[in-house]
A and B are shown apart, each in its own frame.
Chain A
């Protein structure tokens, strides 16, 4: 009996305590947030999300005619406008893209950079800050051939700062102070510089479907009443490598200069058109190559 008491018990309750608690590292680590929006665009405007490094995104955008143009026009589907674009991720915080819209045969190119990335854990940051700069070039024939036209008349420039936050796994919100500078405008009353504030929000409804709103409030530079604030609402549907964004909007433009300065339809008075964005990503350079 005495001997048994001296032998260290092999199956005492102390052995049954959680072994992992002896070795597991419970220090929280800094983690960057991801998937605030399912795509690099909210709907029309840029979102706070980026592509991975070495990833190519092929984007096809369609904007149709007005829904209230009647059944004969298939509620606007007969009038289809398109932008084809390619975006590439140079790094986790740097991407660029080019595209071409059939309206005015307009080329566009942009660079997007993220100096601040929202994170959790030690040294956490509550928001992401993203900088966008882009240029558009109309390549169609000059509108007014009776005046002297310059090459620089074809150009416009867009710059924006996006401040965004993923609040939780189903809601993200971003604000975008932005401005467009057009080298030439159509009417004497239009300003060359247009300032706006973009508001983008995403509500995730299920693992693969999200509801998205993209609204831009024109602050200065356009005559209210002649021009309207662009508003788009829609759904993102993600399947495998594709993201489909199906939406309704009052604007037809597919680059920033176009949808900010050329929207004239009134959203709440039936001036709505259907459109969709289709995005397909390809991994050009694989990350994390392992030897197995």
Chain B
């Protein structure tokens, strides 16, 4: 009898240096920030994907904007982490053992500022010689997470900022 093995790329891939940036520009002033220290882990067998990022890691060009982001908007002292737990919807269509670029759709729950909300994203995975690179983007609605924009700056801060994730994954060795 034969023991059937699962696909050759069974395992988990991760990075602790995923790039996450967001753009909340609505008026003339650029409102954008990036962090290079997000944690992302992907289970290629199930398509399960989880991301965690420390909000204090987002770097802005303007120090005051960074302070406002932390103190007044996301309140990072109270809610230091933003988390995403979800699934690659078309994981079966991705051949992790063959080089190529695969479009992906992701759906899951994002938790930010103490509130959770469903999120869907589009992106692509690039498989090359055992390494996986991922890119995805999606908009969120700040109000879904209890993040209020004060009336005075309503035309400066976007209600639906766009989030971009970029990562380069390595296999997780047990």
Instruction: Give A contacts to B, CB under 8 Å.
Output: 2-3, 6-8, 10-11, 15, 18-20, 22-25, 31, 34-35, 51-55, 169, 207-208, 238-241, 281, 283, 286-290, 292
Contacts and interface: CB of A to CB of B under 8 A. Distances in A.
A238 to B, nearest CB: 8
B61 A286 contact: yes
A281 B43 CA distance: 46
Given A35-B70, A239-B153, 9 more contacts: A6-B1, A10-B45, A34-B67, A51-B63, A55-B63, A55-B64, A169-B77, A287-B59, A287-B61
A283 B45 contact: no
Interface in B22-50: 32, 34, 39, 41, 43, 45-46, 48, 50
Contact of A169 (B14, B60, B78): B78
Contact of A52 (B63, B77, B85): B63
B48 A19 contact: yes
Given A15-B46, A283-B64, A3 B1 contact: yes
B113 interface: no
A19 B59 contact: no
Contact of B12 (A19, A34, A283): A19
A10 B50 contact: no
B172 A22 contact: yes
Most chain B CB within 10 A, of A11, A51, A52, A53, is at A52
B64 A281 contact: yes
Interface string B161-174: 00000000000100
B3 A25 contact: no
Nearest to A204: B71
A35 B67 contact: yes
Given A6-B3, A15-B46, A31-B56, A23 B63 contact: no
A289 B172 CA distance: 32
Given A3-B1, A169-B77, A288-B61, A240 B14 contact: no
Interface of B: 1, 3-4, 6, 12, 14, 16, 21, 32, 34, 39, 41, 43, 45-46, 48, 50, 52, 56, 59-64, 67, 70-72, 75, 77-78, 83, 85, 150, 152-153, 156, 172
A8 B6 contact: yes
29 contacts: A3-B3, A3-B4, A6-B3, A10-B45, A15-B43, A15-B45, A15-B46, A18-B50, A19-B48, A20-B41, A22-B14, A22-B41, A23-B172, A25-B16, A25-B39, A34-B70, A34-B71, A35-B67, A52-B67, A208-B72, A239-B153, A240-B152, A281-B64, A283-B61, A283-B62, A283-B64, A287-B61, A290-B59, A292-B21
A239 B157 CA distance: 13
Contacts of A52: 62-64, 67
Contact of B71 (A31, A35, A288, A289): A35
Contacts of B4: 3, 7
Nearest to B39: A24
Contacts of B39: 20, 23-25
Pairs of residues from A and B, 4 with the lowest C-beta to C-beta distance, nearest first: A52-B63, A286-B61, A288-B59, A283-B62
B80 to A, nearest CB: 9
A286 B4 CA distance: 58
Nearest to B51: A20
Nearest to A31: B56
Contacts of A286: 61-62
B172 to A, nearest CB: 7
Given A19-B48, A290-B34, A7 B14 contact: no
Contacts of B48: 15, 19
A269 B6 CA distance: 85
Nearest to A241: B64
Contact of A19 (B43, B70, B75, B156): B43
A208 B170 CA distance: 43
Nearest to A11: B46
B31 to A, nearest CB: 11
A10 B52 contact: no
A25 to B, nearest CB: 6
